Amino acid sequence: MAPVLDIRGLAKSFTLHNQGGVTLPVLAAVDLAIQAGECVALHGRSGTGKSTLLRTLYGNYRVGSGEVWVRHGAVQIDLGRASPRQVIELRRSTIGYVSQFLHVIPRVAALDIVAEPMRARGLSVAAAHERAAALLSRLNVPERLWHLAPATFSGGEQQRINIARGFAVDYPILLLDEPTASLDGDNRASVIGLIDEVLARGTAIVGIFHDGEVRERVASRLYDMNEAKAAA
Amino acid sequence: MTQTLAGYNFAYLDEQTKRMIRRAILKAVAIPGYQVPFGSREMPLPYGWGTGGIQVTASIIGRADVLKVIDQGADDTTNAISIRRFFAKTAGVATTEHTADATIIQTRHRVPETPLRAGQIMVYQVPIPEPLRWLEPRETETRTMHALTEYGAMHVRFYEDIAHYGRIATTYDYPVIVNDRYLMRPSPIPKFDNPKLDMSPALQLFGAGREKRIYAVPPFTKVKSLDFQDHPFAIESWDEACHLCGSTTSFLDEVLTDDQGGRMFVCSDTDYCRTRTS
Amino acid sequence: MSALPMLDDEPPLLVVEGLTVAYGNRVGCRDVGFELWPGEVLGIVGESGSGKTSLLNALSAKIEPAAGTIHYRLRDGTMADLFGLSEAVRRQLLRTDWGVVHQNPRDGLRLTVSAGANVGERLMAVGARHYGEIRGSALDWLGKVEIDRDRIDDRPSSFSGGMQQRLQIARNLVTNPRLVFMDEPTGGLDVSVQARLLDLIRGLVADLGLSAIIVTHDLAVARLLAHRLMVMRGGEVVESGLTDQVLDDPQHPYTQLLVSSILQV
């Protein structure tokens, strides 16, 4: 069975031109193939490039060298050579991403933030709002907050909205960056439940889970970031 | 033939000027409704007093013509009399107050009630020839709008009227589309007279002296007043009849007879009224 | 593994190649090229003097380029060379298929006629002749841009800056254009007013499937509205790509400088 996500020799560094041109190598050589239904937890200390790797897999950071093959329907796309339009299409239907922090847009209500990826896929406003409401309820976001813009919410509330948005649409590949960081026990359990469900449906997950308990529960294997550096 | 003024050419203008104006007139007739620039001359009366109309008349008038001049429908106002005398002195042509007898009729602000016939020429005095000037002050831009038939903005004016007054408020100098092509101002005639321009047997010439433009509507040309589908063009009407001749179909002037608000309505077209009472 | 395939083969709406705008010897922008698809928003960012306004003026057919071509896909599917078309057709495009939202709303509105007339003008320009229907459309659009419908007969000179800008947007969108050009649409507006306007633009672009080219010096506006970004400096495009990628992983020194110069709240 061909992998859903096949990373080969991915390297990435940052060159800071306005700071004397210093180059920071972050990823040296990532080799990782992920199958449908797998959950790979990126493992390593701060600064080993876990978030960088996730962002690169989402197209938010540019691929330095190497290949990132993504299965998009019946075809394979190398993310590093994809055009911006293709990356947008991949994000719409194939790759989902739950970042650590919610990108807050003024005036847009929580419900609409969660509904947006569904609307992008053609769902009606009513259907999108219904599913958004269900997800927010499951994550214990009180209804009185649904029609407010999240700028003034707590970190945990914002994170749960972010998570709801990430799970609103069925993505074959889901990238999770510290999904339970600001959450208490009950909410952690809800998130674990969501992860279990999508894994059962065949979603491939690449995630960063600092919480050992969560990692134990969901990860099918670990990927040690130091492997990437050592290979360099 | 009467003696004309010594030292002046026939009808005041020199022959080269007349030729220039006739060329402009021919061009205008060939492109109905299109404003043709011309070299407007210094005339012995100031701008705003009909210099355009006078120059057109001077260029086309011949010894055998019979000239009628009206001002707001009347032959006997100061301006009408002055212009008629001007041509009597400089061209020695016959003049008349009877519409039916005239070959050339120069007018300010009215079209005669008596239907015109083929062979007659109407000369209108025009203050502002450009119908889009209220909207667009740049001549370069209005010329482009005419060239590209960009007339939608004209309807904006009427939209505004309906929004503010419930009806189109323009009652004179009402814009028209000539020959399904050019937007034209018919000069400050009341909208009551607009239908007379449509398919008229007479040749209609328009002269603007200050703005230096001539335009024309050839005989039997379509002239349609602008309107909206749900606010169609309509002419004025009166509850009264003419006090003198009893007409209920002519354009009536309101005349105050005393200081207690007494008034009467009489035909604006003096010749028409007189013809009916004689 | 197969070679890089196209995800769809929908043709682009706008194809720009080698575009150079010059004012005598002074170059406005040089050798700019890009494609724009339906439903896409392209942001052009740069500081004063970067050439972004020259570029926008050439793209919206306001000035003729010194070199290069702009091809636009007409509604019938044919790809037309913009400056090969007659002026009449270009002006027609500007009235129907395109919209231009100016930085200063006074440049894009008729201040001497009512809001309703401003919105209805483009409809009248393409032959609408029913007052009731025109007014109905105008009311509709005022609602969409969140202007109180009671203001339909008021003149824009009595509106606030934000309202004028929203009116300008309504005036442009009433003929369902496929491509809208915006020059600093939030320039000079109060921050809360900006937020409202951006929210409106974002919603309209999504709902109507508009393509848009937005020139701005404000990177936050670019991040919010644009799918793709072009960074300009000294008349040239120094970097372009996916908006969040250009802003979060800038490659060119100038882009890095721009991004790092933004003050955080």
Q: What are the backbone angles phi and psi of residue B99, rounded to the nearest 5°?
A: -55, -45
Pair A38, A95: CB distance under 8 Å: no
| Among A213, A149, B94, A61, CA closest to C249 | A61
Q: According to the model, what pLDDT value does residue A45 have? A: 86
| Among B192, B252, B251, CA closest to B225 | B192
| Among C203, C102, C258, CA closest to A106 | C203
Q: According to the model, what pLDDT value does residue C5 have? A: 41
Answer whether B159 sits within 8 Å of C126, measured CB to CB. Answer: no
DSSP, residue by residue, B204-265? EEEEETTTTEEEEE-TT--EEE--BTTB-------SS--TTT--SSSPEEEEE-STTS-EEE
ipTM given for this complex: 0.90
| d(C-alpha C101, C-alpha C177), whole Å | 12
Q: Which residues pair with C71 in a beta bridge?
A: C15, C81
Q: What is the pLDDT of residues C151-190, one digit of tens each?
A: 999 999 999 999 999 999 999 999 999 999 999 988 878 8
CB < 8 Å from A in window 181-220 of C = 195-196, 198-199, 202, 206
Q: Which residues pair with A160 in a beta bridge?
A: none
Tokens representing B262? 């007494």
| d(C-alpha A147, C-alpha A153), whole Å | 12
Q: According to the model, what pLDDT value does residue A173 have? A: 96
Answer whether A59 sits within 8 Å of C228, measured CB to CB. Answer: no
Q: What is the pLDDT of residues B45-88, one digit of tens each?
A: 999 999 999 999 999 999 999 999 999 999 999 999 999 999 99
| d(C-alpha B273, C-alpha B268), whole Å | 8
**Residue-wise over B132-142: b if at least 16 C-beta within 10 A, else e?**
beebbeeeeeb
Conformation bin of residue B82: beta by default, left when phi > 0, alpha when psi is -120 to 50: alpha
CB < 8 Å from C in window 51-70 of A = 55, 59-62, 69
State how far the alpha carbon of B187 is from the alpha carbons of B52, B211, B233, C130, C249, in Å. Answer: 12, 13, 17, 26, 67
Selected catalytic residue, list B92, B209, B245, B262: B245
The C-alpha of B207 sits at a distance from chain C's nearest C-alpha, in angstroms, of 29
* A touches B, CB cut-off 8 Å, minimum 3 pairs: no
Q: According to the model, what pLDDT value does residue B1 have? A: 43
Nearest to A107 among C6, C199, C249 (CB): C199
Q: Locate the DSSP E strands across chain C.
A: 14-23, 26-36, 41-46, 67-73, 79-81, 98-101, 179-183, 211-216, 228-233, 236-242
Residues 6+ apart with CB under 8 A from B211: B52, B126, B127, B128, B129, B130
Q: What is the pLDDT of residues C192-250, one digit of tens each?
A: 888 888 888 888 888 888 999 999 989 989 999 999 999 999 999 999 999 999 999 99
Mutation for testing the C interface, residue in B156, B160, B224, B231 having most C CBs under 10 Å: B156
Answer whether C245 sits within 8 Å of A77, measured CB to CB. Answer: no
Nearest to B164 among C95, C110, C153 (CB): C153
Active site residue B267: yes
Number of residues assigned to chain A:
232
Q: According to the model, what pLDDT value does residue B3 have? A: 55
| C193 or A175, greater pLDDT | A175
Burial class of B41 by CB neighbour count within 10 A (0 to 12, 13 to 18, 19+) = middle
Tokens representing C150? 């009671």
Answer whether B152 sits within 8 Å of C153, measured CB to CB. Answer: no
Q: According to the model, what pLDDT value does residue C199 have? A: 87
Q: A86: how many CB neighbours lie within 10 A of its CB?
A: 22
Q: According to the model, what pLDDT value does residue C74 have? A: 93
Number of residues assigned to chain C:
265
| C108 or B6, greater pLDDT | C108
Answer whether C7 sits within 8 Å of A85, measured CB to CB. Answer: yes
**Residue-wise over C94-107: b if at least 16 C-beta within 10 A, else e?**
bbbbbbbbbbebee
Mutation for testing the A interface, residue in C196, C245, C265 having most A CBs under 10 Å: C245
Active site residue B242: yes
Q: Locate the DSSP E strands across B148-212.
A: 176-178, 182-184, 203-208
Q: What is the pLDDT of residues C15-66, one digit of tens each?
A: 999 999 999 889 999 999 999 999 999 999 998 889 998 999 999 998 999 9
DSSP summary character for residue B127? S
Tokens representing A5? 């996500």
The C-alpha of C195 sits at a distance from chain B's nearest C-alpha, in angstroms, of 32
Selected catalytic residue, list B33, B52, B53, B73: B33
Mutation for testing the A interface, residue in C249, C254, C265 having most A CBs under 10 Å: C249
Mean pLDDT of chain C: 91
Angle between helical axes of C131-144 and B152-165 (0-180°, round to 10): 90
Alpha helices by DSSP H, C109-226:
115-125, 131-144, 161-173, 191-208, 219-225
Residues 6+ apart with CB under 8 A from B277: B244, B245
Q: What is the percent of chain A with per-residue pLDDT over 70, rounded to a whole number?
A: 97
Give the CA radius of gyration of chain B.
19
Q: What is the pLDDT of residues A53-62, one digit of tens each?
A: 999 999 999 9
| Among B8, B99, B19, CA closest to B55 | B19
The C-alpha of B218 sits at a distance from chain C's nearest C-alpha, in angstroms, of 27
Which residue does chain A place closest to C198, by CA atoms? A106
Active site residue B39: no
Using the Cβ of A85 and the Cβ atoms of chain C, whether some distance falls under 8 Å is answered with yes
Answer whether B159 sits within 8 Å of C88, measured CB to CB. Answer: no
| d(C-alpha A167, C-alpha A155), whole Å | 18
Nearest to C121 among B156, B163, B231 (CB): B156
What is the pairing mode between strands A22-34 and A5-16? antiparallel
Taking contacts as CB-CB distances below 8 angstroms, the residues of chain A near C239 are none
CA dihedral (C124, C126, C127, C129) in degrees, to 10, reads -30
- Is pLDDT above 50 for A232? no
Tokens representing B241? 């009849």
Which stretches in chain B have pLDDT values below 50? 1-2
Pair A39, A194: CB distance under 8 Å: no
Taking contacts as CB-CB distances below 8 angstroms, the residues of chain B near C152 are 163
Number of residues assigned to chain B:
278
